[in-house]
A and B are shown apart, each in its own frame.
Chain A
């Protein structure tokens, strides 16, 4: 009984996803922006030219090739938000819940469909960015890591997970806010806000490190750094992704609770 409900809900959500062109375009955007920005960054890069070689550490080429994530995550946010908030623009949610009264099943089905799409698009994007961006960086005379390098594999898998967690974070906020622009705007503000403020406001190192460790974007993207702690946050790669996962978990829990106990 339970599984049938779940399967039907999943089928319904899948049908919605593939029949709305906007959401498919967003999936294409995730992959395209990841790869495109990687290519652009590779194309404009120059090998560092410093008077004293010891003064400048070698650039982290893996993180550079994957820097499309800063733009692609906006498409992932839009996907997570659109998946949920489109139910509320006209109140399709009433129909959805009439057809499938188990709200948990609808919630799970949407999350699963969103996860699958972001994963597929993100994997294509990460692979494209590493292949094309990495090749260009190599052409520009920078040392790039090989695909067998465990640090590169960790960065690739981590970036994919990051995109997924960001998409789900946005979906959770969309369940809570039920408004597309509000959900997308607040997710973007949550991700970029602390980072932008830390770039503008001069802070003593321990404050800066605390901000970097606690804000979801910088902590999560620490997973891209080849050397642990040398990236966007002093946290280790998986610990950083864990911080983002906490935000995502909280946002999904809030969305789930509000969906269950609020009139729709």
Chain B
């Protein structure tokens, strides 16, 4: 039994191998993938145009001489964005981009401790408001600690207070970065814009003073510390609101607007602070995440064009036999038609997978250095080798995607039996319908990307992006489902009709 299958496979392999157009199509697959991948890498530049260090926020502070601590409970934080920040800070003054140590909660990215906006420590257990935060300065070191209940404290990390002067400003801060939005503006036009957001946080039990909070002055209990930043009022307890401003605003329509002024209200033993801005640097604190691109996926984007060659190969593997009537000879030699189709499928899938693997691996290797040269470097874009699991999934998965498309084409070829009809049908399904949907409506484009066979192309995604229609594996599963159904129908139809 299995020998006859082996013979069928061998026969199909010989057919595929000895036809010149097969080699041409496989070479075209590789060449197109690599060429387009390289062109995409050449043309792509990181779109991050902000300052190297971002430092602007609403800061409620008072001087702290020598060693001491600042402690608060962030009772609530509004979710104005996943990277909105609220927490405690020791800062050398009130100017932007001056030495500082900050410990903060974020709505979407857990608890983080930053040093001068350039170094970042993360708290592995995650956590969001309400949470207790404390910074302790002692013997030229600053220790950040967090607590869920204000009693059991755990250390996030200890850093040197290198840049801080003997008397620094201690207090709480609120920042909330711009959020990228996009909307559909017409056929094929999506307009991106940055929306200014205002963060709001409620701080309770705010104390700052010499070690262990001896000089504790409960902010709310002291009475009114209410005001806006204009005038930077002094309030009871000595707390003062300052809008720390970015000193080197980059030129540009979106980023050179002044930040929204912060406000502070005291009441009921709590300080409610609002503010906008951000702190961190490229790759730290979420800065530059709007400019993130999926570099691995774009290195492999040539497969969208190489698809043409794969469709032609898959369709011709069967329709050429119908056109030349060789199919009758084939069925005479191997009367089990299901076996013939299985053999064709095995040979085709193996051939396309191998060519796809070469194409994707070469594309990645060739495109990566070009991408690095164009600004895609660490920390936002870590250097990855071909053996990296994420890269491996994209490369092997994309080769699998091409093999599945070839099998889908084979199935359609059996069903339609005419080369031109099958090619145009597949072209419509895999290229034209996604194209029309994406240029006429964002919603329709997403649904087509989710539910039609082209969803399989999602396997090359390696980082979640807002424009993704579907996840890598779910997309490939959709394509596999369509391929299985089409091949099943092909088996069934082929058995029941004349050759």
A residues lining the B interface (CB < 8 Å) = 37, 41, 44-46, 48-52, 55-60, 63-64, 67-68, 70-71, 74, 77-78, 81-82, 85, 180-181, 183-185, 188-189, 192-193, 195-197, 200-204, 231-232
Contacts and interface: CB of A to CB of B under 8 A. Distances in A.
Interface stretch (B163-171, B180-188, B229-237, B378-386): B180-188
A196 B431 contact: yes
Contacts of B316: 181
Given A77-B424, A196-B431, A45 B440 contact: yes
Contacts of B191: 50, 55-56
The 6 closest A-B pairs by CB, nearest first: A181-B419, A202-B43, A56-B185, A180-B420, A181-B420, A59-B186
Interface stretch (B211-219, B300-308, B467-475): B300-308
A81 B424 CA distance: 12
Interface residues of B, number: 44
B431 A44 contact: no
Contacts of A203: 43
29 contacts: A41-B436, A41-B444, A44-B441, A45-B441, A50-B191, A51-B193, A51-B195, A59-B184, A59-B185, A68-B436, A70-B432, A70-B435, A71-B436, A74-B424, A74-B427, A181-B316, A181-B419, A184-B423, A185-B427, A189-B308, A192-B427, A193-B305, A193-B308, A197-B39, A200-B36, A200-B301, A200-B304, A202-B43, A231-B187
Given A78-B424, A197-B36, A48 B184 contact: yes
Interface of B: 36, 39-40, 43-45, 181, 183-189, 191, 193, 195, 301-302, 304-305, 308, 312, 315-316, 319, 418-421, 423-424, 427-428, 431-433, 435-436, 439-441, 443-444
A44 B183 contact: no
A56 B36 contact: no
Nearest to A59: B186
Contacts of A67: 187, 436, 439-440
Contact of B40 (A63, A71, A196, A201): A201
Contact of B36 (A48, A74, A82, A201): A201
A59 B185 CA distance: 6
B442 to A, nearest CB: 9
Nearest to B374: A202
Contacts of A78: 420-421, 424
Contacts of A71: 428, 432-433, 436
Contacts of B319: 181
A105 B186 CA distance: 46
Given A188-B424, A196-B304, A197-B36, A74 B432 contact: yes
Nearest to B311: A185
A193 to B, nearest CB: 7
Given A41-B440, A55-B185, A192-B435, 14 more contacts: A44-B443, A45-B441, A46-B443, A48-B186, A49-B183, A51-B193, A59-B186, A70-B439, A71-B428, A71-B432, A82-B420, A188-B427, A189-B308, A192-B431
A231 B439 CA distance: 11
B454 to A, nearest CB: 12
A189 B308 CA distance: 8
Contact of A184 (B44, B185, B424, B441): B424
Nearest to B293: A202
A134 B18 CA distance: 53
Contacts of B188: 232
Nearest to B188: A232
Contacts of B193: 51-52, 55
B297 to A, nearest CB: 11
Contact of B432 (A52, A192, A202): A192
A50 B40 CA distance: 30
Contacts of B40: 200-202
Of listed B43, B186, B435, residue having the most chain A CB within 10 A:
B186
Contacts of B421: 78
B187 A64 contact: yes
Contacts of B187: 59-60, 63-64, 67, 231
A196 B435 contact: yes
Contacts of B435: 70, 192, 195-196
Nearest to A208: B43
A44 B444 CA distance: 7
B181 A197 contact: no
A126 to B, nearest CB: 16
Contacts of B189: 57
A58 B186 CA distance: 7
Contacts of B444: 41, 44
Of listed A74, A78, A185, A193, residue having the most chain B CB within 10 A:
A185
Contacts of A201: 36, 39-40, 43
A236 B191 CA distance: 23
Contacts of B432: 70-71, 74, 192
Contacts of B436: 37, 41, 67-68, 70-71
A85 B424 CA distance: 15
Contacts of B43: 201-204
Nearest to B186: A59
Given A181-B419, A196-B304, A64 B428 contact: no
Given A41-B440, A74-B428, A56 B183 contact: yes
Given A50-B183, A56-B191, A202 B44 contact: yes
A41 B441 contact: yes
Given A41-B441, A45-B441, A74-B428, A184 B195 contact: no
A204 B484 CA distance: 42
B185 A57 contact: yes
B183 A48 contact: yes
A73 to B, nearest CB: 9
Nearest to B190: A56
Nearest to B440: A41
A69 to B, nearest CB: 9
Contacts of A45: 440-441
Contacts of B305: 193, 196-197, 200
A212 B82 CA distance: 39
A59 B436 CA distance: 15
